[in-house]
Amino acid sequence: MADDSTRNSGAAPAGVRMVKCVKFGREMPGLDRVPWKGELGQRIYDNVSKEAWKMWIEYSKMVMNEYRLNPLDPQSQTIIAEQMEKFFFGEGAQLPPGYVPQKGKG
């Protein structure tokens, strides 16, 4: 039988890097690697949880589609980095002008 002393202690499994997530405001498992180049990437690695990064990935899809960005284009990368900065460290990224969310199925 497993040791019950760590089951509900809130402790991370051995080897999991923990961060105080800027999105959730609590200790959570961190990213496995720096997700973006430069100082911004390091700040994200140091302060963003895997769960918050998943939220960013979904949000970034909307940003890329609405702004018609090409991830390989340097100018588009600048816009993505600005949005990433706002999403994690600003007051939250604003939706593109005129954005209308898709209606849910069902």
Domains and CATH numbers, the chain: 18-89 (1.10.3880.10)
pLDDT digits (tens, 9 = 90+) for 34-66: 999 999 999 999 999 999 999 999 999 999 999
* Rounded (5°) CA angle 22-87-29: 35
Residue 10 pLDDT: 54
More confident residue, 59 or 102: 59
Residue 100 pLDDT: 62
pLDDT digits (tens, 9 = 90+) for 70-87: 999 999 999 999 999 999
The pLDDT > 90 percentage for the chain reads 70
Q: Is the pLDDT reported for residue 26 higher than 50?
A: yes
What is the C-alpha to C-alpha distance for residues 70 and 45, in angstroms, rounded to an integer? Answer: 24
Question: Within 10 Å of residue 49's Cβ, how many Cβ atoms?
Answer: 21
Residue 15 pLDDT: 83
pLDDT band at 104 (very low <50, low <70, confident <90, very high): low
Question: Within 10 Å of residue 78's Cβ, how many Cβ atoms?
Answer: 11
More confident residue, 20 or 102: 20
Residue 34 pLDDT: 97
